[in-house]
Amino acid sequence: MIDEIDKKIIKELTKNSKIKYKDLVRSIGITAPTIQRKIKRMEKEGIIKGYTTLLDREKVKKEIMAIVGIYTSPGTLEFSKQITKDFLKIKEINSVFYVTGEYNFCAIIICSSIKELNRVLDKISSIQGVTRTVTSIVLDVPKERLIIEL
């Protein structure tokens, strides 16, 4: 369960995951040991899953982003789990979602060139059970958030 103090801690960590306890104490108004205890509890319970670094895709030469709708042949839940495992082996797949609608999976691919994107799409197409892909190349990202508002 998340209380109001937890929400304040999460909000501050979301803004800056490297924030020091003394700065959390100042902004939230509770003691450092309490903050530390609450953070450890949220980590243990899986509420806080980790801390990350956000990269500028242009500066690290990963400027191509594509959204790929992936069609698969009908199968059991185990079949879908196996396909998912195969997707997880492809490092250029940034995110993959099992979805309802026109296709079965949606993947976000980030890579450095169209040539590399083609190689990734070939890998996806070669996975047993994948019948078709539909790819859209992202031209601009007006809003991109990894934050869940509480």
Other C-beta atoms lying within 10 Å of the C-beta of residue 24 = 22
Boundaries of every domain in the chain: 4-44, 64-137
pTM for the full predicted model: 0.81
pLDDT recorded at residue 125: 98
pLDDT recorded at residue 43: 97
Q: What mean pLDDT do residues 121-134 have?
A: 97
pLDDT digits (tens, 9 = 90+) for 88-116: 999 999 999 999 999 999 999 999 999 99
pLDDT digits (tens, 9 = 90+) for 65-88: 999 999 999 887 888 899 999 999
CATH no. of 4-44 = 1.10.10
147 pLDDT higher than 90: no
pLDDT band at 58; cut points 50, 70, 90: confident
CB 104 within 8 A of CB 87: no
Reading the block at residue 98, the tokens are 């099992």
CA distance 23 to 38: 15
Average model confidence (pLDDT) across the chain: 93
CATH no. of 64-137 = 3.30.70.920
